Amino acid sequence: MEQRLKAGTFSFYTTMAVIGPYFPLYFQSKGYSSLQLGLLYSTGPLMGIAATLLMGILSYRLQLIKKMIVVILLGQLLCLLALNRIDSFSVLVTVMLAFYFCQSPIIPLNDSMLLHHLKERGGNYASYRVWASIGFASGVLVFGMLIEKYGLPIVPWLGIATIGISLVCVSLLQERRRSAAGLRFGQSSGSLVSAPFLLFMTMVLLMSVAHRMNDAFLSLFIQSAGGGQQLVGVTMLVASGFEIPVFFLLARYGHRFRQTALLTFASAVYTIRFAALGFVKEPAAVIALQALHSLSFGIFIYAAVSYMKLIVPDELRSTGQALFSIVWAGFAGIAAGLIGGYAFDHFGPHAVYRIAAVFSMASLVGFFAAFGILNRQQTAIEADGALWSKAHVQPQKRTRQEANPS
């Protein structure tokens, strides 16, 4: 099961290696403006918000996560098969909305499966998440070379191929039936509306707006600096390639650091990275700065998911993961597409990154200011966990002794 989960994670992120770097270039080659692309990338996450909630509820109500993933992968295939026949922007928006409806729930559903597996079998999230980086890195490298040779029209077919591989990987997974308790709000649901949780999600939102602006406009930014499709692939390869050793190190040593400290550090790296990108003009400098992606995104996503795992009760795990995904990819994607598209068209590509730096700086200041509050919450939760373990494990030992008095 462990190897199959890693294979599924790998394949899902090879599709992301097509969507993120090369879809903007593909749409631009079809004659759509940066403002239209900004609108497209802002309406997609809006659909993703509804899809993440709906698919999360259905999968846990029906207890059929594997089958739900198969259905939405088939939906993605149908959308990409239709993409080659579209010339109207209004039709494109409709098809891409359907695509994002089917694509957005994939990562939170996969993360939910990983977290449940880790809870049952043990392990570290980073040891699984590294396969996402490997899939993305190898994908952008291979796809960049193929696009350079055959041109941008093959982009939808690359997506179709990766989705087909994902279907094979998912078919090898076992259906894991779980309780639907994660959808029932009892007393523990207060953790999702507590002040520390809402404060944490606000900081995540600010940072994710900056992150999504980079995702949506990096390819166009590189092209405006004189780089071609292959350079886009190299830049993405450097960014995701450097993630791999970082996730290996986090899997081994990440538990030694408080998540709040890691979040603050990652926010600082994000701010430095985007502020510098707001002024550089040479493609080589862009590649060098994208290497900081491993220390910004890599550490941030590890710490954020670990913190969510800590502060959200087990019975609300799926709900908390859905909320995190909605904030990280949904609300942030809407803001990033609208703000970034307007800035790119009216003030130039560097303005996008200067604005992103402002958002990441706001997140840094927020995490730094809230460091004490979040840290005290983590200390209290860890103390409660230790007391719970002491109260439950010891009686079990006495019971076994009583059952075997000899």
CATH number (domain holding residue 162)? 1.20.1250.20
**Confidence label for 314 from pLDDT (cuts 50, 70 and 90):** low
Best-predicted range by mean pLDDT (50-54, 78-82, 175-179, 340-344): 78-82
Among the listed ranges 37-46, 165-174, 237-246, 258-267, which one has the minimum average pLDDT value?
37-46
Q: What percent of the chain has pLDDT over 70?
A: 81
Instruction: Give residue 215's domain range.
Output: 7-175+188-392
What is the pLDDT, as a whole number, of residue 58?
A: 73
- Higher-pLDDT residue of 113 and 75 is 75
What is the pLDDT, as a whole number, of residue 260?
A: 83
Residue 354 lies in a domain: yes
What is the pLDDT, as a whole number, of residue 31?
A: 84
- Average pLDDT value for residue range 211-236: 80
- Average pLDDT value for residue range 75-87: 88
Q: Is residue 278 over pLDDT 80?
A: yes
Domains: count for the chain: 1
Mean pLDDT, the chain, as a whole number? 80
What is the pLDDT, as a whole number, of residue 396?
A: 39
- Higher-pLDDT residue of 279 and 172 is 279
Residue 182 lies in a domain: no
Among the listed ranges 44-58, 92-106, 186-200, 255-269, which one has the minimum average pLDDT value?
186-200
What is the pLDDT, as a whole number, of residue 185?
A: 40
Residue 180 lies in a domain: no
Residue 40 lies in a domain: yes
Q: Is residue 35 over pLDDT 50?
A: yes
Residue 399 lies in a domain: no
**Confidence label for 403 from pLDDT (cuts 50, 70 and 90):** very low
Residue 400 lies in a domain: no
Q: Is residue 394 over pLDDT 50?
A: no
Q: What is the pLDDT of residues 104-159, one digit of tens each?
A: 888 878 877 777 777 777 677 788 888 888 888 888 888 888 988 899 899 999 99
**Confidence label for 266 from pLDDT (cuts 50, 70 and 90):** very high
Residue 49 lies in a domain: yes
Sign of CA dihedral 176, 57, 211, 314: negative
